[in-house]
Amino acid sequence: MTAGRAWGITPTGPLHGDIEVAGSKNVITKLLVAALLGDSPTWIGNAPRIGDVEITASILRAVGAGVAVEGDSIAVDPSEVQNSRVPVRYSGLNRIPILMLGPLLWKLGEAFVPLVGGDVIGSRPVDYHLEGLRQLGAEIFLTDEGVEAKASHLHGARIRLPFPSVGATETLLLAAATAQGRTVLENAAVEPEVVELALFLQRMGAGIELQPDRRFVIEGKSALSGARQRIGGDRIEAFSYLIAGLVTEGTVRVSGCSQDRLVTAISTLRRMGANIEIEDEAIRVTPSTLSPISVHTSPHPGFMTDWQPALAVLFTQVPGMSLIHETVFEDRLGYVDTLREMGAEVELYDQCLGGAACRFHEGMWLHSAVLRGRTALVGSEIVMPDIRAAFAYVLAAAAASSPSVLFGVEQLERGYDQVSAKFRSLGLQIDELS
């Protein structure tokens, strides 16, 4: 195995300490794209220092924007954007290019973005994005390399998404913010990260309302201004480190992420019997006797799909039979094979177990997992396939009885701020091998 940089991880027993969560990965990249809509510079604070920020900053520079990164602050100057084509070298790195279509169409009347990438957790097609842009008046052409789009102007429309897709909602918010007239976006995603993007666009001058029934109403504006915003904490990072404490029977205190972003996560862990102390500025978990439960992922305010890989590792250490029913991404459970190699007892099913049928019902996808605990995990050589699975593998390695070698550390660092330093601060032994 030679897939990228590698860590050697030696289990050190219970993890203890304080973790300050960085700004949200799933917000910062979207706000960087939104900055292109301004007629003046934008400043964003509390930005995480992660690979996806570097990739997105490079994409913006490629179309002519000025991007300055200093610590956790990022400034974007869109005044020199003159290139309507995102270079094909950004194909497959992440899913940011598809979000560029609306801003580039508004500024230049045409756009090209390469094929999208990101984690291999399911098909995540861009059909919803493109159909919505067509309804806003864009001409869309698919090529072998990506998406070509043209529009003398975009206009408002009533759009109903077949599924509350986070990415499609973000694409259409960005496009509708400067479209002529009113756009009504129904069955939209309302995750905290999506709402934060909407609030940022409102801060730039966009007319946006969120109605109670998953409906955004956007009054397009002919001009938006740059804005200043300090982004909220990353709820996935916060949950992940809380699990690090529970899975090793340690005590971990997480700060920097508000309680309201973790309501479902906290209630889920408490259903298991976890001891959780909620403070004004932090959340702490302490060792406790846990019981198995059934969890179904779903769009917000349900249990977040990005939380479930870490939870699966915790389930391996809980006596009894636990269940995960994944309803958002059809191939999200691909990480399970590696957990089995480490000793986890997991069975996958194509049925919708433990609840109502989901959109993968009667398909061929293995999207339900039954996990039996408590099982002794052993160290292994592991290749990290995607961001969330990568963190889950670090958790499994920390809970194992022998050392592990994890390859592809870049995947982990693409989504988690200063992750090696934070784990070491909790007492985990991590050795850089390459």
Asked whether the predicted pLDDT for residue 371 surpasses 60, the reply is yes
Asked whether the predicted pLDDT for residue 2 surpasses 90, the reply is no
What's the distance, Cα to Cα, between the start and end of the chain in Å? 12
Asked whether the predicted pLDDT for residue 191 surpasses 90, the reply is yes
Average pLDDT over residues 392-419: 96
Q: Identify whether the C-beta of residue 237 lies closer than 8 Å to the C-beta of residue 416.
A: yes
Asked whether the predicted pLDDT for residue 293 surpasses 90, the reply is yes
pTM of the predicted model, to two decimals? 0.94
- Catalytic residue, candidates 119, 234, 306, 417: 119
Average pLDDT over residues 203-228: 96
Q: Which of 129-133, 317-321, 329-333 has the lowest mean pLDDT?
A: 329-333
Domain boundaries, given as residue ranges, for the chain: 6-22+233-432, 25-230
> Catalytic site residue 331?
no
Asked whether the predicted pLDDT for residue 297 surpasses 50, the reply is yes
Q: Identify whether the C-beta of residue 312 lies closer than 8 Å to the C-beta of residue 369.
A: yes
Q: How far is CA 191 from the centre of its chain?
A: 11
Same fold? 6-22+233-432, 25-230: yes
- Give the pLDDT confidence score for residue 116 in this predicted structure: 74
Q: Which fold has domain 25-230?
A: UDP-n-acetylglucosamine1-carboxyvinyl-transferase; Chain (3.65.10)
**92-115 pLDDT, tens digit each:** 777 899 999 999 999 999 999 998
Confidence of residue 1 (pLDDT cuts 50, 70, 90): very low
Rounded distance, CA 270 to CA 246, Å?
A: 12
- Give the pLDDT confidence score for residue 114 in this predicted structure: 92
Q: What is the mean pLDDT of the chain?
A: 94
Assign 3-class secondary structure to the chain: CCCCCEEEEECCCCCEEEEECCECHHHHHHHHHHHHHECCCEEEECCCCCHHHHHHHHHHHHCCCEEEEECCEEEEECCCCCCCECCHHHCCCCCCHHHHHHHHHHHHCEEEEECCCCCCCCCCCCHHHHHHHHHCCCEEEECCCEEEEECCCCECCEEECCCCCHHHHHHHHHHHCCCECEEEEECCCCCHHHHHHHHHHHHCCCEEEEECCCEEEEECCCCECCCEEECCECHHHHHHHHHHHHHCCCEEEEECCCHHHHHHHHHHHHHCCCEEEECCCEEEEECCCCCCCEEEECCCCCECHHHHHHHHHHHCCCCEEEEEECCCCCCHHHHHHHHHHCCCEEEEECCCCCCCCCCCCCCCCCCEEEEEECCCCCCCEEECCCHHHHHHHHHHHHHCCCCEEEECHHHHHCCCCCHHHHHHHCCCEEEECC
For domain 6-22+233-432, say whether CATH 3.40.1080.10 is its number.
no
**112-160 pLDDT, tens digit each:** 999 875 444 344 468 999 999 999 999 999 988 899 999 999 999 999 9
What percentage of the chain has pLDDT greater than the value 90? 90
Confidence of residue 362 (pLDDT cuts 50, 70, 90): confident
**240-291 pLDDT, tens digit each:** 999 999 999 999 999 999 999 999 999 999 999 999 999 999 999 999 999 9
**57-91 pLDDT, tens digit each:** 999 999 999 999 999 999 999 999 999 999 999 98
Assign 3-class secondary structure to 32-80: HHHHHHECCCEEEECCCCCHHHHHHHHHHHHCCCEEEEECCEEEEECCC
